[in-house]
Amino acid sequence: MTLSSTVTLRSKLPDVGTTIFSVIGQLSAQHHAINLAQGAPDFPCDEALIASVNQAMRAGHNQYAPMTGLPALKEALAEKVHTLYGQAYDVASEVLITASASEGLYAAIAGLVHAGDEVIFFEPAFDSYAPVVRLQGATPVGLKLKVPQFAIDWDEVRAAITPRTRMIIINTPHNPSGQALSADDLAQLAALTRNSDIIVLSDEVYEHILFDGRRHHSMATHPELAQRSVIVSSFGKTFHVTGWRVGYCLAPAELMKEVLKVHQFLMYAADTPMQVAFADWLREPSHYHSLAGFYQQKRDLLASLLQESPFELLPTAGSFFMLASYRHFSDESDSEMVKRLIIEHGVATIPLSAFYSDGTDNRLIRLSFAKDETTLQAGAQALCLLKAR
């Protein structure tokens, strides 16, 4: 029996229910499906990193960290960013350690977007962007990336900008398409926002996972964009510890001041022992320098294993993900296809329509290759058994 409330409520997000990720997770658990759906590694992180956290706990680092993050971690992070991207951030006023990249995104939107503002973002999109914008009383303006390249139409962006446009949300490398922005994209963005008060919120959680020799074009690589950007990234994605929920924000002091006002009341500080460990690990760059090659091997393995499947794989430039098309052999909706794969073939994927506010269905599903070799082999074997319908 559930407890019934006598309180009359008016929901701030009346059309938001359980996310597709929860639905797929529950259905997958019922059918013991192989997990190619979740964008989280199913292999262990480095044992030495766990030992570093354990050592930090035993050394007494178990109370609140400073609100903006441990100085040692912020200093190591600023050094890394300057080395990789050429932009210098002031450790005291322009670097923030957050309790996950998701918290960083929320704090940036809540701190910088006002009721009545408009925020441009690109669909398919990570599912939190639009709801967080709406919670501020602002209007999310979703522009659709061009399929199958998933490229931004900058003329369309130009046409969408109004006097109410306060923010443009960028995600590179992109979840769910696996595409990445180029230097020309950054030049186009800079030209569009020049002499305006538009803020760029750049979700760069897959910054170290680009393939085939590509360079990550962070907003920090473009001095003009860096002056108007809040960059959000994730230690969890980089170190295979998504459950530790530690991320960071980089921004000019004037922007960071407003982000901090939200952060201090939202979380106050990220987990202390994890910050101690990451501070040590960031000073040894071999891990994140090898990350692209590590995941490229997984991408290429899954692609090779799926050569005999009926799916057509779209190229992926970065991230944990690749997209697979089935429009050439089935008229099923992507949600129906995903459910059939779970129930009849025991493998879980994600329908791309879940990343569109209007449920646009391009007959594409998302596969995650952030898995161990056994999982990739089993998942691919199941997908290869799919028959046209």
Residues 26 and 70 in one domain: no
Residues 265 and 334 in one domain: no
Is 205 a domain residue? yes
Q: Say if pTM beats, i.e. exceeds, 0.85.
A: yes
**Last residue in a domain, options 270, 285, 300:** 285
φ, ψ for residue 220 (rounded to 5)?
A: -75, -15
Is 221 a domain residue? yes
Residues 374 and 243 in one domain: no
Q: How many domains does the chain have?
A: 2
Domain holding 24, by residue range, is 20-45+287-384
Residues 260 and 313 in one domain: no
> The domain spanning residue 36 has which CATH number?
3.90.1150.10
| % of the chain exceeding 90 in pLDDT | 90
Is 148 a domain residue? yes
Condensed to tens digits (0 to 9), the pLDDT of residues 107-119 reads 999 999 999 999 9
Residues 94 and 24 in one domain: no
Is 54 a domain residue? no
Q: Please provide the distance, in angstroms rounded to a whole number, between the alpha carbons at the two ends of the chain.
A: 42
Whether the per-residue pLDDT at 8 is higher than 70: the answer is yes
Residues 170 and 221 in one domain: yes
Residues 207 and 94 in one domain: yes
What mean pLDDT value characterizes the chain? 95
Quote the CA–CA distance of 52 and 277 in Å, as a whole number.
Answer: 5
Residues 252 and 297 in one domain: no
**Last residue in a domain, options 267, 285, 303:** 285
> The domain spanning residue 111 has which CATH number?
3.40.640.10
DSSP symbols for 65-128? PPTT--HHHHHHHHHHHHHHH-----TTTSEEEESSHHHHHHHHHHHH--TT-EEEEEES--TT
Condensed to tens digits (0 to 9), the pLDDT of residues 165-196 reads 999 999 999 999 999 999 999 999 999 999 99
**Last residue in a domain, options 243, 259, 285:** 285
Residues 259 and 336 in one domain: no
Is 11 a domain residue? no
Residues 155 and 281 in one domain: yes
Condensed to tens digits (0 to 9), the pLDDT of residues 224-270 reads 999 999 999 999 999 999 999 999 999 999 999 999 999 999 999 99
Contact 189, 221 (CB under 8 A): no
